[in-house]
Amino acid sequence: MQPDTDLRALMVRYQQGDQTAATALVHTVSGPLHRFFLVHTVSRRHADDLLQETWLRIHRARHTYRPGEPVLPWIYAIARHVRVDHYRRVHRIETREQQVEQLPEVAQNSVGRSGAGPDLAALLAGLPDSQREVITMLKVLNMPIEEVARATSSSVGSVKQKAHRAYVALRERLAGAKGPK
C-alpha cells in the first residue's frame, strides 16, 4: 500500500478528472478493501459485489473528499456504509422470503488448510460486527488507530475498547481450542 501522501495526491488528481490517477487509486486500494469485505461476508461473490458498489459510491462522492485529509478513513467510511446497507438489504429480503424446503447442511471446506492453527475468518466470525471490523482494520489492513476511529465514526478510546474486548474473546477462543488447561 502506498503512503497516505501518495494516496492524497492520487485522490486530488482523480477529483480533477485524471483517469490515470483513478486507475492507480483503484489498483492500490482494491486489495485491502476486498479483504475488508471478505472478513465480513459469507462469500467471495458478495465481497466482489460490495467492492464494486464501494467504488461506484466513491466515484459519485469523490467531490466530497477534502484535499489534505487522509484518504483511507474516507474510503473505509464509505465501504462501511456499503456493507451496512448490504446487510440491511439482505436482512429485509430474508425476512420477507419463506423457505420452501430445508437445505442439507454443508460440511466445512478444509481443503488447503494446514494444521498450523485455527482459521482467522472462523475466529473473527464469532465476534460482534463492531469488534470484527476494528480488528480487521487494525491487524489485517494495518491501519493506524486514528484512521480506524475516523473510518468507523468512533473515538480513539472506543476503538481501543472494542479491540481490547475482541482480543479477550479471541484469547478465550484460542485457549478453548487448545483443549483443557
**Residue 159 neighbours by CB under 8 Å, 6+ apart:** 134, 138, 145, 148, 149, 152
User: CA dist 75 to 46, 59, 160, 162, Å?
Assistant: 18, 11, 21, 21
Which domains, and CATH codes, for the chain?
1-97 (1.10.1740.10), 118-181 (1.10.10.10)
pTM, whole model, 2 decimals? 0.59
Report the candidate in 137, 1, 5, 28 with the shortest Cα–Cα distance to residue 73: 137
The tens-digit pLDDT sequence of the chain (181 residues) is 567 788 999 999 999 999 999 999 999 999 999 999 988 776 788 899 999 999 999 999 999 999 989 999 999 999 999 999 988 887 777 777 665 555 545 444 444 445 566 677 888 888 898 999 999 899 888 889 999 999 999 999 999 999 999 999 988 888 876 665 4
Which ranges constitute the DSSP H helices of 41-155?
44-61, 71-96, 120-125, 129-135, 145-151
